[in-house]
């Protein structure tokens, strides 16, 4: 996973070291770094910000022959990445759910994202994860648009021995969400997971519908689901949902097939929201908690 991003970070420090030793101009190394970030799915704005960090570091140390510029550049980049991930913070959903359960209230999670990113699969994986942590779960079939969507969620739920609250196709998803909340309250279920549609006539309609569900249901947490393989698109979608509906954390699916790795970095940088989990396959256990430290360690080889 994420090999390209790792390569981009290691190539800038080795290029700086080589050029410094041979007294060559460093501008081309900085330019190559920016290109390799973009090729690793790092959003343009984030690639520019990181390149500026490198440039500033080089300007600040160029005169001093005694310092190892490559080392300084590596440290500056690490510090910048660490700061972005620290700003986004982290969330312990299991303890949040437990906390609310103590007060006798269900914890409501709304899943958001465009079509095909893996929302429904992720709802099932997330339900499995909560169950394994000793929590009770119910799902609501909030995608009342796509033919087969209700059956798809119901099949997952059956395999996981979970209840699904649903209505007919064409029903108001906000009403389905509200039914879910009422069911969870009446049956003392710890957590309600609401699946939603990803495709509507227009993105504007999708945003309006998601905002309406959020207004009616007032979820405790909104999870944005993105497909890591779509790279920069995932970042634009994150910006769209963050602006129009708002979300509290992201899950990146299909990370098992993602060799580039820039999506996680870019979503954290551009939205300031944490990545919570990575989807790493199609099985119910293929959901790994996202460890920012380990991620940074793997891409910066520290």
Ligand X SMILES: Nc1nc2c(ncn2[C@@H]2O[C@H](COP(=O)(O)OP(=O)(O)OP(=O)(O)O)[C@@H](O)[C@H]2O)c(=O)[nH]1
In this complex, which beta carbon is closest to ligand X, that of residue 72 or of residue 251? 251
Tell me how far, at minimum, the Cβ of 53 lies from Mg ion, in Å.
39
Q: Give the number of other CB atoms < 10 A from CB of residue 257.
A: 12
What's the DSSP call for residue 44? H
Task: Enter the DSSP assignment of 148.
Answer: T
The stretch among 1-9, 64-72, 91-99, 253-261 that binds ligand X (CB under 6 A) is 253-261
Which residue, 119 or 222, has its beta carbon nearer to Mg ion? 119
Q: Which of 235, 237, 278 is nearest to 122 (CA)?
A: 278
Interface map 153-172 toward Mg ion (x if CB under 5 A): --------------------
d(C-alpha 195, C-alpha 143), whole Å: 6
The number of residues that bind Mg ion (CB under 5 A) is: 2
- Pairing between β-strand 221-227 and β-strand 107-112 as defined by DSSP bridges: parallel
| Cβ-based nearer residue to ligand X, 69 or 238 | 238
Measured from the CB atom, the residue of 100 and 146 that comes closer to ligand X is 146
Q: Interaction with ligand X in 112-131: which residues (CB under 6 A)?
A: 113, 115-121
Q: Does 196 bind Mg ion (CB under 5 A)?
A: no
Out of 17, 98, 100, 146, the residue judged to bind ligand X by CB under 6 A: 146
Instruction: Name the residue whose CB lies closest to Mg ion.
Output: 120
Determine if 120 is a binding residue for Mg ion (CB under 5 A): yes
DSSP one-letter code for 63: T
Residue 36 touches Mg ion, criterion: CB under 5 A: no
Pairing of strands 163-165, 287-289: unpaired
Beta bridge partners of 250: 224, 275
124 versus 292: smaller Cβ distance to Mg ion? 124
Q: Which of the residues 191 through 230 are near ligand X (CB under 6 A)?
A: 198-199
60, 207, 211 from 275: Cα distances, Å: 33, 21, 21
**How many of the other CB atoms lie within 10 Å of CB of 85?**
20
In this chain, which stretch among 1-9, 77-85, 111-119, 170-178 interacts with ligand X, using CB under 6 A? 111-119
HSE (side-chain half, CA atoms, 13 Å) at 140: 28
Regarding 281 and contact with ligand X (CB under 6 A), the answer is yes
Nearest C-alpha neighbor of 110 from the set 274, 221, 275, 250: 221
- Binders of ligand X among 30-69, rule CB under 6 A? none
Task: Determine which residue in the list 29, 140, 280, 299 makes contact with ligand X, applying CB under 6 A.
Answer: 280
């Amino acid at each position: 996973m994420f090999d390209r991003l790792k390569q981009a970070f290691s190539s800038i420090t080795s290029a700086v070291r080589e050029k410094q030793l041979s007294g060559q101009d460093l501008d081309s190394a900085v330019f190559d770094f920016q290109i390799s970030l973009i090729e690793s799915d790092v959003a343009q704005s984030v690639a520019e910000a990181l390149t500026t960090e490198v440039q500033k570091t080089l300007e600040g140390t160029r005169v001093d022959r005694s310092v190892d510029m490559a080392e300084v550049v590596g440290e500056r980049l690490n510090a910048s990445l660490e700061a972005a991930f620290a700003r986004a913070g982290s969330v312990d959903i299991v303890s949040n759910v437990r906390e609310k359960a103590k007060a006798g209230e269900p914890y409501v999670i709304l899943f958001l994202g465009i079509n095909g990113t893996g929302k429904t699969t992720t709802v099932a994986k997330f339900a499995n994860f909560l169950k394994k942590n000793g929590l009770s779960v119910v799902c609501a079939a909030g995608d009342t648009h796509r033919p087969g969507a209700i059956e798809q969620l119901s099949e997952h739920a059956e395999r996981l021995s979970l209840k699904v609250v649903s209505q007919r196709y064409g029903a108001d998803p906000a009403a389905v969400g509200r039914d879910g909340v009422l069911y969870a309250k009446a049956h003392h279920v710890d957590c309600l997971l609401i699946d939603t549609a990803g495709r509507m006539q227009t993105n504007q309609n999708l945003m309006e519908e998601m905002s309406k569900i959020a207004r009616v249901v007032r979820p405790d947490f909104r999870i944005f689901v993105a497909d890591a393989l779509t790279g920069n698109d995932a970042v634009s979608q994150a910006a769209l949902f963050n602006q129009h509906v708002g979300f509290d954390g992201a899950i990146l699916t299909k990370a098992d097939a993602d060799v580039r790795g820039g999506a996680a970095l870019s979503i954290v940088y551009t939205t300031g929201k944490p990545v919570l989990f990575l989807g790493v396959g199609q099985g119910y256990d293929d959901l790994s908690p996202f460890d920012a430290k380990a991620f940074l360690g793997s891409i910066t080889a520290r």
